[in-house]
């Protein structure tokens, strides 16, 4: 699934889920090292567990962040 982000430096997130767990996450644009880290950390989690951990995280003065956008993408898949 491809999710178009809103309000972040990353512009899209590609997510693969198989057998109820996150197989891979790939962000387009944004802070490459940090986003690779987030993708590695959520790999193997259930979508709900990742949503519980990431939803509501903010970036500076923004109302959202790349982790929050990932949580929103995952919620749209549930």
State pLDDT tens for residues 41-52.
999 999 999 999
2-77 CATH fold: Enolase-like; domain 1 (3.30.390)
- When pLDDT is averaged across residues 37-64 and rounded to a whole number, the result is 98
Q: How far apart are the first and last CA of the chain?
A: 12
What pLDDT does 63 receive? 96
What pLDDT does 22 receive? 98
What pLDDT does 48 receive? 98
Give the other-Cβ count within 10 Å of 41's Cβ: 15
pTM for this predicted structure: 0.96
What pLDDT does 51 receive? 98
List the Cα angle 29/30/35 in 5-degree steps: 105
CA distance 67 to 73: 10
- The domain locations on the chain are 2-77
């Amino acid at each position: 699934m491809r999710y178009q982000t809103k309000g972040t430096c990353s512009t899209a997130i590609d997510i693969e889920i198989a057998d109820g767990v996150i197989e891979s996450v790939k962000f387009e644009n944004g802070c490459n090292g940090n986003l690779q880290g987030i993708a590695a950390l959520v790999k193997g989690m259930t979508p709900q567990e990742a949503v519980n951990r990431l939803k509501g995280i903010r970036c500076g003065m923004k109302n959202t962040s790349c982790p929050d956008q990932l949580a929103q993408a995952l919620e749209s898949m549930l």
